[in-house]
Chain A
C-alpha cells in the first residue's frame, strides 16, 4: 500500500527558506502514471495547491507564490521535495504531500499525514 510521509523543520524564521521532503513507500515514484504534489492549509483555513512534479522533473506551480517555490524529485531515494523562499508568518500552515492522479481527473488520491510548519522568529 502506497504511503507518503513529510519531513522537515517545524519552525522557520521569517524571510528564510522552508524545506520539506516527502518520502514515498510501498511503490515507485518513477511512474508515468502519476504526479507528486504539495498542498498547504493554514490553521483553521482551507486547502491551497502549491505545485506538483512529474518523475521526469517537469514542474507546475501556483502563480500566487510568485516563483518562490521549487519542487524537485529524487527517484533514487523515492522522494520529492519543496523549497519555499522568503517565507512570512502568513505561511504558517500544515503542509501535505500527495499523489496526483491524471487518470482519475487530476485528483490528489493519496495524502501524507501532513507536517505543521510555523514561521516565526
Chain B
C-alpha cells in the first residue's frame, strides 16, 4: 500500500541523539526527504535525496542513505529542534506522499 508511517511522538534529552523513523514499502524504490515544521509556520526542508542538507540546515541533521525504513537523525539535539517532522516520498503512482508526522520534544 502507499503509506508512510511515522511514530506520533518522540522525545530526546538536550544534547543527545534521536532517530525519527519513516516506514513505507515504496522507500525501497524512492528516497525519503524530511521537513521540520514549527507551530504556526510552514514546513522547512531539512534533508533531501538520501542525505543532502539545504543551505542553512545544521550538520547535526542527517538522513539514512537508502531503504525501508528511512531515518532522520539529529545528533546533539538542541532546544530549537523541538518541532514536528514529516517524511516525504512517492506513492505507487509516483505522486508525492507525506508521512503522518512525528512530534519531537526536547527535554
Chain A residues packing against B (C-beta within 8 Å): 37, 39, 46-49, 52, 60, 62-63, 96, 100-101, 104-109, 111-114
Closest 9 CB pairs of A and B: A105-B49, A111-B42, A49-B96, A47-B98, A107-B33, A107-B48, A104-B48, A46-B101, A46-B100
Using an 8 Å CB-CB cutoff, how does the interface string of B21-54 with A read, 1 for contact, 0 for none? 0000000001101010000011111001100101
Determine which of B33, B42, B95, B98 lies in contact with A105 in the assembled complex, contact meaning CB atoms within 8 Å. B33
30 intermolecular pairs with C-beta atoms under 8 Å apart: A46-B86, A46-B99, A46-B100, A47-B88, A47-B101, A49-B97, A49-B98, A52-B96, A60-B95, A62-B95, A63-B93, A96-B43, A100-B96, A101-B48, A104-B33, A104-B48, A104-B49, A105-B33, A105-B48, A106-B96, A107-B33, A107-B45, A107-B49, A108-B45, A108-B88, A111-B42, A111-B43, A112-B42, A113-B41, A114-B42
Q: How far is the CB of B36 from the nearest CB of chain A, in Å?
A: 11
Using an 8 Å CB-CB cutoff, how does the interface string of B46-84 with A read, 1 for contact, 0 for none? 001100101000000000000000000000000000000
Determine which of A52, A60, A107, A111 lies in contact with B88 in the assembled complex, contact meaning CB atoms within 8 Å. A107
- Taking a contact as CB atoms under 8 Å apart, the answer to whether B99 and A105 are in contact is no
- Taking a contact as CB atoms under 8 Å apart, the answer to whether B96 and A109 are in contact is no
Which residues of chain B come closer than 8 Å to A114, judged between CB atoms?
Answer: 42
Which residues of chain A come closer than 8 Å to B42, judged between CB atoms?
Answer: 96, 111-114
Which residues of chain B come closer than 8 Å to A104, judged between CB atoms?
Answer: 33, 48-49, 52
Q: How far is the CB of B75 from the nearest CB of chain A, in Å?
A: 22
Q: How far is the CB of A115 from the nearest CB of chain B, in Å?
A: 10
